[in-house]
A and B are shown apart, each in its own frame.
Chain A
Amino acid sequence: METMGLAPWLVGFPLIGAAVLLLGGRRTNRWGHWLGVLAPTASFVAGLVMLVALLGRSADERAIVTTLGTWFHAGPLTVEAAFRVDPLSLTFVMLVTFVGSLIHLYSVAYMEHDRDRRRFFGYLNLFVAAMLLLVLADSYLLLFVGWEGVGLASFLLIGFWDHKLENAVAGKKAFVMNRVGDMGLIVAMMLMVWQFGSVSFDDVLGGASHLGSGPATAMGLMLLLAACGKSAQFPLQAWLGDAMAGPTPVSALIHAATMVTAGVYLLVRSHAILEAAPNAQLVVVIVGAITLLFGAIVGCAKDDIKKALAASTMSQIGYMMLAAGLGPIGYAFAIFHLVTHGFFKAGLFLGAGSVMHAMDDSVDMRRFGGLARALPITAITMGLGWLAILGVPPFSGFFSKDKIIEAAFVGEGWRPWVFGIVALLGAGITAFYMSRLFFMTFAGRRRWPAHDGHETHPHEAPWLMRWPMIILAVGSVFLGFLLQLGGRFTTWLEPSTGHAVHGEPVIPVWLLLTLTLVLVVLGAWLAFRLYAVGPVPVEAPHGSALVRAARHDLYQDPVNETAVMLPGQVLTRTLVYADRSAVDASFLQLASGVRRSGDGLRKAQNGYVRTYAATSLGGLLVVAAVVWALAG
């Protein structure tokens, strides 16, 4: 039991770190980054101790709630400040603290020359604390605190270099679009209070099976909205690409490995509600499928290495959403893919950071090429991550993604065909764009320019940056295999997600496997022909309409601006005009009327004592007259 008492400390360590770093001021500049590394590492060690303790228990004793006390009472609603440690949350704890610690370590070197490095680490620690609170919370309200906390940290870190306007704008965009999702979570909580009178997981999820279909669907859709905002899913996907304005470690930790997967966590955590609302489940699957294709198509056209990776993240989270919407068959695989994706995508981002470090912060892949020789370790680690995301056996992605594709083909009627084929197609496109990214960067002829008279000399990053990349690459290679061995990961998650149903796909598994691999190889081969063997123009060619649309994120920003922002602006302008011309004007009239009457009355105050005496005597006259009238 004592080991489970560590749960609050998981959040506490990085929170203390953040407080010291952010409140300590310049004093902590010298050693602050090491404190920043220490905090998530301490959480990781604590999490590891708890993991061992939890593995020592039988499956039905693996959910432990640690209550710190009552948070607040509000009429009939009582919210406890409680932490829930169960397989699902502990999986996240391990992912967040392990990958987080590595990325902190990487940042020590990556941010070495930034004068605000201490502040950066303060924000990162704040993020880790908020993320751990999000996954450890035992009620939707406490989860919401973490949910907002990661949103805040994301905002602060995207706009970390806010001396550039576009970075600040990107931070604002992410924040505002996240607000839309947060609204969904708030409404969902209102519905919970209405239906259950509580927001704790036990009450809500325990009572979900008795829920009417109407409230259940509403709740499910609202949770989906929240998840879409946080996880950059269609239609709230537009912020993720711009979020790449933040420093690369931020992109790796927040916008690839952990925060953006919080939506998947939310949906898997709330699986009982989704199961009570089949329609909401269908919508989840559709959203996942659309985002999957959307991200993949956008990823094919991006020349910015980080934006291409961001599109890929979006697409991969689409896979997870799809799996989360499929029901009991998919939860475990959604989380499984989430974990493996956390490793290889973080590794890929760190690799991209290493490339940027070597190429004077350039992100244009058309000006890379042939970097494998200059950056061998980066090339190897990124290569392993590339193979993992492609789903090539026996790398991690193979075990997680192919299971999702397989699960998408399970079912009856039109659904398995549509969703299965989308997932299958997505795998092929993924292979193409990831290979494109890899080949454009590391293969082919060197295209980096000798501009401004000085040559770019790509050089390998310092060891402090290399080690995290190597560790994550090793994880990308073996993690999937290790975790799926004997279905141990799905079994491990069973206390949280329920028993994983095994279904038979509509086409045989061996055929599916072959088809996937063929598509993957086809995509990779196409990319190899085009970008490794063929010449890559330094300037982007005009391209077809689809390519141009994909380059512009399938016109997501103009669509958002026309459909949402413009009516809003028109509305606010109309309101402002109405306010000025009607409300303000009438009040100004009133005010000037009062002033004019005051001016008039001012003349009565002429300063002559005798006038005042006359006024006072007039009053006496009136009083006397009243007395007379009453007496007479």
Chain B
Amino acid sequence: MPVTNYLILAVILFSIGATTVLLRRNAIIVFMGIELMLNATNLAFVTFARIHGDLTGQVLAFFVMVVAAAEVVVGLAIIVTIFRTRRSASVDDVNLLNG
């Protein structure tokens, strides 16, 4: 099995995550889609590290994880706050930015 199969898997997971962001309305699920995309890129990083024999790819994946963790903290806090005021976790209910 060629190592590039891992890349193909990463691509599939990334596409599914992106589609989730576009299609789901529950903010928490949308957020999970984003996490899935991040994880897919991490898989690609790890695979590339293996292909090139260089651990830097893994280090970058590590950074991605930490940033994602920080992002989750803030993102979920926002969701909670919105839920508190609007009693809804649907991203479509928050459209105050419309022109």
Q: Chain A interface (Cβ within 8 Å of chain B)? A: 601-610, 613-614, 617, 620
B91 and A610 contact, CB distance less than 8 A: yes
A-B contact pairs, 28 of them (CB 8 A): A604-B99, A605-B97, A605-B98, A605-B99, A606-B98, A607-B94, A607-B95, A607-B96, A607-B98, A607-B99, A608-B91, A608-B92, A608-B95, A608-B98, A609-B30, A609-B91, A609-B94, A609-B95, A610-B21, A610-B23, A610-B91, A610-B92, A613-B21, A613-B22, A617-B18, A617-B21, A617-B22, A620-B18
Q: Which residues of A contact B23 (CB under 8 A)?
A: 610
In whole angstroms, how far apart are the Cα atoms of A601 and B91 in the complex? 22
C-alpha gap A365/B9 in the complex (Å): 113
Query: Closest Cβ of chain B: how far from A613's Cβ, in Å?
Result: 5
List residues of chain B with CB within 8 A of the CB of A617.
18, 21-22
In the complex, the chain A residue whose C-beta lies closest to that of B99 is A605
Which residue of the partner chain A has the closest CB to B25?
Answer: A610
Residues on B with beta carbons closer than 8 Å to the beta carbon of A601: 99
CA distance A602 to B21 in the complex (A): 23
- A458, B99: Cα distance in complex, Å: 81
Query: In chain B between 43 and 70, which residues have their CB closer than 8 angstroms to a CB of chain A?
Result: none
Smallest Cβ-Cβ distance to B97: which chain A residue: A607
Which of A602, A606, A613 lies in contact with B95, CB distance below 8 A? A606
CB distance from B41 to the nearest CB of A (A): 12
A617, closest chain B residue (CB) = B18
Interface size on B, residues (CB 8 A): 14
Which residue of B has the minimal Cβ distance to A613? B21
Q: Which residues of B contact A (CB under 8 A)?
A: 18, 21-23, 25, 30, 91-92, 94-99
Closest residue of chain B to A606 (Cβ to Cβ) is: B98
- B96 / chain A contacts, CB cutoff of 8 Å: 607
* Nearest chain A residue, comparing its CB with the CB of B21: A613
Task: A614 to B23: give the CA distance in the assembly, Å.
Answer: 10
Q: What residues of A have a CB within 8 angstroms of the CB of B25 in the complex?
A: 610
Minimum CB–CB distance from A584 to chain B (whole Å) comes to 29
Smallest CB-CB A-B distances: 6 pairs? A607-B98, A607-B95, A605-B99, A602-B99, A607-B97, A609-B91
Which residues on B sit within 8 Å (CB–CB) of A604?
99
CA distance A241 to B22 in the complex (A): 85
A603 to B23, CA, bound (A): 20
* Distance between Cα atoms of A609 and B23 in the complex (Å): 11
Q: Are A603 and B21 in contact (CB under 8 A)?
A: no
Give A614 to B20 CA distance when docked, in angstroms: 11
CA of A606 to CA of B30, assembled, Å:
19
Judge whether A610 and B99 touch: CB under 8 Å.
Answer: no
> Contacts of B99 on A, CB cut-off 8 Å?
601-607
In the complex, the answer to whether A614 meets B91 with C-beta atoms within 8 Å is no
A607 to B98, CA, bound (A): 4
How far is the CB of A608 from the nearest CB of chain B, in Å? 5
Interface contacts beyond A606-B99, A610-B21, A613-B21: sample of 10 additional A-B pairs, CB < 8 Å, sorted by A = A602-B99, A605-B98, A606-B98, A607-B96, A607-B97, A607-B99, A608-B92, A609-B94, A610-B25, A617-B21
Closest-by-CB residue of B relative to A608 is B95
CB neighbours of B22 from chain A (8 A): 610, 613-614, 617
Determine the distance from Cα of A143 to Cα of B49 in the docked complex, in whole angstroms: 86
| Neighbouring B residues of A607 by C-beta, 8 Å | 94-99
Query: Across the two chains, which residue of chain B brings its CB closest to A601?
Result: B99
Q: Given the complex of chains A and B, what is the CA–CA distance between A603 and B25 in angstroms?
A: 21
Q: CA–CA, A601 to B99, complex, Å?
A: 9
When C-beta atoms are compared, the residue in chain A nearest to B96 turns out to be A607
How many angstroms between the C-alpha atoms of A126 and B92 in the bound complex?
A: 74
Nearest neighbor of B93 in chain A, beta-carbon distance: A608
CA distance A604 to B98 in the complex (A): 9
Residues of B close to A613: CB separation below 8 A: 21-22
